[in-house]
């Protein structure tokens, strides 16, 4: 009996601990489930009733900590329910248009198709190749005046006098091409309408690398497409991007710009137009370019007034002197150059202003209008500032001697 009485309490204690252990597990699971439900309900309330978490409460929480907010952060605008891109698109989108252009182009018939001998044996099998065909393309543009003036790229409307302009609201107009300038790739279209939505121009001379860039257009036929990025660079020379025939210092952006975007606006975060998108750089991946709006506006004013633009012209081809250029000229042309740097004239166009003034291939340009020049781009910019018909003093080095020749500035030929 004693043994039994001594073992009884022990058995009772063992059963109590086992039962407690068994009960603890469900209680733990239930607690976790209730905790998860509480977090979920709290998150739902916070999301559905944001006014319960006012800015005053946020400030109280922030003030309870010792963390100091940098002054430059404190000046940033508050984040709203709709981001700035949405605001820009709502404001500018109605002024962006689609431009459909068609042009007649001549087709080249292979010479053998016209050979009598060839036709004699294969006449019935020779396909009838038309002498002309219709080429169609789509681009973008944006309205700059309520009476229907539209800016776009020259290559969008090249070879045609009329285009079809479609507004975002679905209205369609026949647009008249007032003028094109292939040198800057700018064109102006006019449609007969009133009280149209318009864009606001910004200042492309005050752009900063890294600021926001928004492109709106109709890439690949997809109307009203919006892409965003930043300003990657400014002042990109036409020679740097493989379009040396253009007289534009391009804006570079990583906002996607594809065929069909050409002519559409590039916008800043305030919705101001800072450039005209152009998809002339082939094989670009993640790189887009735009014509600065300040340049485009000055060209557009001339196109509206006269239908054409007169660009100053000397008639020379230049290259910057480098060790590689010196070696290549010596090997291919037998030209010996003593200068280590400078701008070498490699060709003078016959019957050009430069030819009439006595400039020669092999001359090294030292200054233009008493201003030193370091690169061909510098020369081009200096000439672009000169009025057609004025006399421009050009100082060159020839055979170790300095010469100053006065060139009467002409008009750049359309070709």
pLDDT in tens, the chain (415 residues): 444 443 444 333 344 444 444 555 556 666 666 666 665 555 554 444 454 444 444 444 344 444 566 665 566 655 554 688 999 999 999 999 999 998 766 666 566 556 665 555 555 555 565 666 677 788 999 999 999 999 999 999 988 999 999 999 999 999 999 999 999 999 999 999 999 999 999 999 999 999 999 999 988 778 889 999 999 999 988 877 777 778 899 999 999 888 888 999 999 999 999 999 997 666 666 789 999 999 999 999 999 999 999 999 999 999 888 888 877 777 776 666 777 778 999 899 999 999 999 999 889 998 998 888 888 888 988 898 899 999 999 999 888 889 999 999 999 987 5
223 part of the active site: no
Query: Considering 204, 262, 311, 377, which one is annotated as catalytic?
Result: 262
CA 131 from chain centre, in angstroms, equals: 37
User: Could you tell me which of 345, 308, 350, 352 has the C-alpha nearest to residue 329?
Assistant: 345
185 part of the active site: yes
Task: Record the pTM.
Answer: 0.70
Rounded to an integer, what distance in angstroms lies between the CA atom of residue 61 and that of residue 44?
21
Query: Considering 181, 185, 190, 249, which one is annotated as catalytic?
Result: 185
Contacts of 92 (CB under 8 A, 6+ apart): 142, 199, 216, 265, 267, 271, 273
DSSP at 227: E
User: Could you tell me which of 292, 298, 315 has the C-alpha nearest to residue 379?
Assistant: 315
155 part of the active site: yes
Kindly tell me the burial class for residue 367, based on how many C-beta atoms sit within 10 Å of its own C-beta (0-12, 13-18, 19 or more).
Answer: middle
Q: Are 216 and 197 in contact (CB under 8 A)?
A: no
Q: Which two tokens stand for residue 120?
A: 């004699």
Rounded to an integer, what distance in angstroms lies between the CA atom of residue 106 and that of residue 84?
47
pLDDT in the model for residue 78? 57
pLDDT in the model for residue 122? 58
């Amino acid at each position: 009996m004693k043994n039994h009485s001594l073992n009884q309490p022990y058995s009772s204690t063992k059963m109590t601990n086992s039962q407690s252990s068994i009960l603890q597990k469900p209680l733990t699971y239930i607690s976790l489930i209730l905790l998860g439900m509480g977090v979920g309900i709290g998150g739902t309330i916070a999301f559905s009733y944001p006014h319960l978490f006012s800015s005053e409460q946020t400030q109280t929480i922030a003030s309870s900590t010792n963390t100091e907010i940098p002054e430059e952060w404190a000046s940033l605008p508050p984040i709203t329910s709709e981001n700035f891109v949405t605001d820009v698109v709502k404001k500018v989108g109605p002024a962006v248009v689609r431009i459909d252009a068609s042009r007649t182009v001549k087709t080249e018939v292979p010479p053998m198709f016209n050979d009598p001998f060839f036709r004699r044996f294969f006449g019935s099998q020779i396909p009838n190749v038309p002498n002309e065909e219709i080429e169609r393309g789509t681009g973008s543009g944006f309205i700059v005046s309520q009476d229907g003036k539209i800016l776009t790229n020259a290559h969008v409307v090249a070879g045609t006098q009329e285009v079809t302009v479609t507004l975002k609201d679905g209205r369609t107009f026949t647009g008249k091409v007032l003028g094109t300038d292939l040198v800057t790739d700018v064109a102006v279209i006019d449609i007969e309408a009133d009280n149209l939505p318009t864009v606001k121009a910004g200042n492309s001379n005050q752009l900063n690398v890294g600021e926001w860039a928004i492109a709106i257009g109709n890439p690949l036929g997809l109307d009203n497409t919006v892409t965003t990025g930043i300003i990657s660079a400014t002042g990109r020379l036409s020679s740097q991007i493989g379009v040396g025939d253009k007289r534009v210092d391009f804006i570079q952006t990583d906002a996607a710009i594809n065929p069909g975007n050409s002519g559409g606006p590039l916008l800043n975060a305030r919705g101001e137009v800072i450039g005209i998108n152009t998809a002339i750089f082939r094989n670009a991946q993640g790189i887009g370019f735009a014509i600065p709006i300040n340049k485009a506006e000055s060209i557009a004013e001339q196109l509206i007034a006269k239908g054409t633009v007169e660009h100053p012209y000397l008639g020379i081809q230049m290259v910057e002197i480098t060790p590689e250029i010196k070696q290549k000229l010596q090997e291919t042309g037998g030209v010996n150059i003593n200068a280590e740097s400078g701008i070498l004239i490699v060709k003078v166009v016959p019957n050009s202003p430069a030819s009439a003034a006595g400039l020669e291939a092999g001359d090294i340009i030292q200054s233009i209008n008493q201003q030193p020049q370091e690169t061909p781009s510098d020369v081009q910019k200096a000439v672009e500032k000169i009025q057609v018909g004025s006399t421009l003093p050009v100082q060159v080095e020839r055979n170790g001697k300095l010469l100053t020749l006065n060139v009467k500035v002409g008009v750049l030929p359309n070709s």
